[in-house]
Structure 1
């Protein structure tokens, strides 16, 4: 476990020192939240949610967006470590690749959850979001952790099969936008046309968004037990795939 902790600690120190990266990753979803919320709050009504307040509907989606984008982006660190030789030094050390991958995943997921919290706290203080009880806080954090671990492992899996950071960014942009766009983060699933519903239901982030929404507002269009089962299964599957591909990386 020492190597897992050491790699996790390295990721945390890098996160703390990268102030511009923290600010940038928080401001983008925050500005999307403000612009969409201000523009559509008086136009869009969400039945059964805080009197139809679109701001309240949008906040869980934007927090999820912050966590997912940060988590997947952690995969690029694998490529930078390989480019500058740190990964080679780690791989030849008397530790298993599984431990290295576990440390990278834990560090990326922790960073992602912290960035999600950095967006959630202003939403609580400035935008009128009210969490009803501590159980809602626990549910919200649980889904943030599962989303963070699942998509960090997914990013590591892709990075393990990608030759350079530019290619990784291109693939991630191609993958992340459909995953986020179909997740119901910015519109209710019930408003989708019938042909789009199956695509939304096979999107793992949909269950993360709805689980977060349940924790923050008490309302969800998918039962929270189903949400945690699906996002938990995705977390396990992506971790197994990431560990397998990382072990095969040369």
Structure 2
């Protein structure tokens, strides 16, 4: 029996096409979200800083009693450890930023981003830029402590360290995103993170000089990517200290390949190339994410 009621018309939904402008906007939104997370999470700020501060002022003070009167004549061992602690801070923060992808997957927010009419690469780029800026911002707090370990507050030194921190944190965030893209829960991610990051930090020369190492340990430091992020920071710090050449040779020998001293510019280039390669891997992983 006809009711005389006509069915409502179908409303068409038009999805805007993908464009460079939309991808840039997506990068901006993801970056902004990372910055808001960092600013609003005070607990995370404090917790990430506890370990580096303990290493610098507790472990550094304890170890300084073992090397006093030896190679570090006139140099506080905490001054030597300072670049390594900066690297540890930005690396740990960058990995935490990358791990938030797993959190977003568990709560469904990641799926909302993946169905947006933008390239998945723009999401990854925004995430890596956000992680790099957040980690660098966390490292600024350690920079503020420079005077307490006899490192001068030189504008040139601070700007150099800021650039090197951002490069290292961007690369580590890209590494973390490539891992997190296939992880289903936070426990798995942080287990893999601890297994990968902690050995890399300890084998980077962050906590010990690279001079006079056993052959096997010297080889491990040379093939460790983080070595090429820590060494430029230490070179920048020591270039602003008034110490003897003997102390520089002992505490800041640099990286050598078959007797050839690797320039700082090449080390930074290696880190940048690794960052670009890992960014490509992360984008490829994201494109395969369901």
Q: TM class, shorter-chain normalised?
A: over 0.9
C-alpha separation in 1, matches of 2:39 and 2:237: 27
Instruction: Provide the residue aligned with 1:170 in structure 2.
Output: 191
Taking the aligned partners of 2:118 and 2:195, their CA distance within structure 1 comes to 34
- Please, what is the CA RMSD of the aligned residues? 1.6
CA distance in 2, matches of 1:140, 1:227: 14
**Stretch of structure 1 that moved more, 216-225 or 74-83:** 216-225
2:43 aligned residue? 20
Partner residue of 1:128? 150
Instruction: Return the match for 2:102 from 79, 90, 109.
Output: 79
Distance 1:12 1:113 in 2: 11
The correspondence of residues 148-227 of structure 1 with structure 2, limited to 5 A, is 148-218=169-239, 220=252, 221-222=254-255, 223-227=263-267
Q: Would you say the 8 A contact 2:114–2:120 is kept in 1?
A: yes
TM-score normalised by structure 2 residue count: 0.81
Contact kept? 1:60, 1:213, Cα under 8 Å: yes
Residue 9 (structure 1) aligns with: 32
**2:9 — aligned with what?**
none
* Distance in 2, Cα, partners of 1:207 & 1:134: 23
CA contact (8 A) 1:3 1:95 kept: yes
Whether 1:62 aligns to 2:102 is no
Q: Tell me how far apart the structure 2 counterparts of residues 142 and 203 of structure 1 sit (CA, whole Å).
A: 21
Bigger share in helix = 1
Deviation at 1:50, TM superposition (A): 7.3
Q: Matched residues in 1 for 2:67 and 2:31: separation?
A: 42
Residue 23 of structure 1 deviates from its aligned partner by 0.6
**Match for residue 20 of structure 2?**
none
1:230 Cα deviation from its structure 2 partner: 1.6
Matched residues in 2 for 1:43 and 1:147: separation? 30
- For normalisation by structure 1, the TM-score amounts to 0.93
Q: Give, in whole Å, the separation in 2 of the partners of 1:2 and 1:50.
A: 53
Instruction: Find 2:272's aligned residue among 216, 226, 232.
Output: 232
Give CA deviations for 1:179-200 in whole Å, capped at 9, x if unaligned: 0110000001114211111111
Counting matched residue pairs gives: 247
